[in-house]
């Protein structure tokens, strides 16, 4: 059974976090992406807990109402702060400095690649959904065919100060339609809109894009890695996905899901559960 805990990592930063599984189980931190929330991982939290893991899935900075700094202060939404949040949540739920399995999707995947690059000694295994290795992504973005650049066009569109108006119009139609096109069931859409379907939360989510800036290159990943990609993903093309293998300096598994969109954990939870459990079982702490 999933418990929702309020985890304070610093004054003004209280995260609502889904937690399940035995306290002495190997921890699994799961980081969601854009247009979704901690509920994205509900099926995985339950499956991992049943297998003996300590599963932890927070609403991240800005998505959590208790951890929502001024959305006009982009310094509060820089990548280094988001990464610190993630490590701090692990330290509060578990023990300071403990090792853990890391699972990321979309923006949560971007954080996860950098976390594994910065502190590989803390990551037991890495599992990625719909977010290629940053070097593979950048290489695909630069190709003259323009395929990945077109798929990633929303990154620029979200910098527009009026983007929130467009996304919230007609009962958040843009967000609802995007989730529907990617095969997310209606009841899951409502869970995510319960978190993100209000203007303060949406502006905080958009602040992640607006605060992105330029970061140091991420080197080859040195922890065992699983990458799950659906070929109906509306933001990640085949070249970026398949090219990720070249940037993994560790055991690597690539799973291609035909017909699956950007939100695989919501669309095909059983397949994602099986892949995660098989991957993590290979690499006990």
pLDDT, residue 156, reads 79
* Helix (H), strand (E), coil (C) string for the chain: CCEEEEEEEECCEEEEEEEECCCCCCEEEEECCCCCCHHHHHHHHHHHHHCCCEEEEECCECCECCCCCCCCCHHHHCHHHHHHHHHHHHHHHCCCCCCEEEEEECHHHHHHHHHHHHCHHHEEEEEEECCCCHHHHHHHHCCCCCHHHHHCCHHHHCCCCCHHHHHHHHHHHHHHHHHHHCCCCHHHHHHHHHHHCCHHHHHHHHHHHHCCCCCCCCCCECCCEEEEEECCCCCCCHHHHHHHHHHECCCEEEEEECCCCCCHHHHCHHHHHHHHHHHHHCCCC
Q: What top-level class would CATH report for the domain 3-281?
A: alpha beta
- Which pTM was predicted? 0.96
Query: Any idea where the domains of the chain sit in the sequence?
Result: 3-281
pLDDT, residue 142, reads 87
Q: 202 or 146: which carries more pLDDT confidence?
A: 202
pLDDT band at 159; cut points 50, 70, 90 = confident
């Amino acid at each position: 059974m999933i418990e929702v805990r309020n985890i304070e990592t610093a004054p003004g930063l209280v995260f609502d976090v889904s937690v399940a599984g035995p306290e002495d189980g190997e921890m699994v931190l799961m980081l969601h992406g854009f247009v979704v929330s901690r509920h994205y991982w509900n099926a995985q939290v339950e499956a991992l807990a049943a297998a003996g893991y300590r599963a932890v899935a927070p609403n991240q900075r800005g998505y959590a109402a208790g951890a929502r700094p001024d959305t006009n202060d982009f310094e509060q939404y820089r990548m280094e702060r988001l990464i610190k949040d993630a490590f701090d949540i692990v330290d509060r739920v578990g023990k300071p400095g403990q090792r853990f399995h890391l699972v990321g999707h979309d923006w949560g995947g971007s954080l996860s690649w950098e976390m594994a690059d910065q502190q590989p000694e803390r990551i037991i295994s890495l599992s990625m959904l719909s977010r290629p290795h940053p070097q593979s992504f950048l290489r695909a973005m630069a190709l003259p065919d323009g395929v990945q650049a077109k798929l990633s066009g929303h990154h620029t569109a979200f910098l527009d100060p009026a983007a929130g108006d467009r996304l919230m119009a007609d009962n958040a139609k843009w967000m609802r339609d995007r989730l529907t096109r990617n095969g997310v069931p209606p009841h899951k859409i409502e869970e995510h809109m319960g978190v993100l379907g209000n203007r303060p939360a949406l502006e905080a989510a958009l602040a992640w894009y607006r605060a992105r800036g330029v970061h140091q290159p991420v080197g080859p990943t040195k922890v065992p890695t699983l990458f799950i990609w659906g070929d109906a993903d509306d933001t990640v093309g085949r070249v970026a996905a398949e090219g990720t293998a070249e940037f993994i300096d560790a055991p690597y598994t690539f799973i291609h899901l035909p017909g699956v969109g950007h939100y695989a954990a919501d669309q095909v939870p059983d397949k994602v559960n099986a892949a995660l459990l098989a991957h993590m079982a290979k690499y006990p702490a």
